[in-house]
Amino acid sequence: MTDEAPRVVEPPVAAADPAPEAAVPVPAGERDTVFRSQDVNVYYGGFRAVRDVTFDVPKNEIMALIGPSGCGKSTVLRCYNRMNDLIKDARVTGAITYRGTDLYDERVDPVEVRRRIGMVFQKPNPFPKSIYDNVAYGPRVAGQKKGLDDIVENSLRKAALWEEVSDRLKDSALGLSGGQQQRLCIARAIAVGPDVLLMDEPCSALDPIATARIEDLMQEIKRDYTIMIVTHNMQQAARVSDTTAFFTTDVRSENDTRTGILVEVDTTQNIFSNPSDERTENYVTGRFG
């Protein structure tokens, strides 16, 4: 173990564009990649839940993770903000970098990771507090004392909720509809200034109208955030995502029963219209799943 203090994950500060003659070309893969994953395996005790996952996540895009139940989509998603650290006997091997920083370096502070890489869960989970206090909770924990009103309003506006709740901010968040509660959870995640939003089936408990609102919201906020979404809804993946990763399960040994594997990653258009793997085609067309 090192004696150094935990290191925070700090996105690089944009510099002014150099003069043309001084410019050094930066490969698009380096310039536009938020996450880079290489040979990632996730174990729960002796069980390997996910095997050898390798792909990049482009910035300011929506990436959908699709595949049958039990193929490791949510397990992979939780790797990106180290939520698997909270599961007993969970272990991640391989390499995951966030803007060039090794997320699993022992000097990296996982609390800071989860601030910069926010998460919205399957079911809305507002705190039993007022609407205002739900959004202000994260900034307050981080020591923010001034400007909370602005943070709350801006976060609710980004989550397309301000117009619906601005006159009842002191009311309990539990009195909101399911769709409003989920947008409140998005506002709560936005309030701490993340760079990435992870969404684990955020619409599975919502009706079609609320689902449409969340999908529209994702399209609006991807200008400011990189979004990764796990979904079982093929139509949703096709509607909202720019890139899609298809996972399935594979068996190689008694210990690897139903191990999740990544089949392919491509633009969403290609995944749904011209996939390169027959397993992907069978899944997206409904012949398997």
Q: Does CATH number 3.40.50.300 belong to domain 32-124+196-284?
A: yes
- With a pLDDT cut of 90, the percent of the chain lying above it is 80
Domain limits of the chain?
32-124+196-284
- Three-state DSSP at 188 gives helix
The pTM of the full predicted model, rounded to 2 decimals, is 0.86
| pLDDT score for 205 | 86
First to last CA, the chain: 44
**pLDDT tens for residues 11-55?**
433 333 333 333 333 344 455 899 999 999 999 998 999 999 999
* Pairwise CA distance, residues 82 & 113, whole Å: 7
* Pairwise CA distance, residues 21 & 269, whole Å: 38
90 residue type, one letter: A
**pLDDT tens for residues 100-157?**
999 999 999 999 999 999 999 999 999 999 999 999 999 999 898 899 999 999 999 9
| pLDDT score for 253 | 52
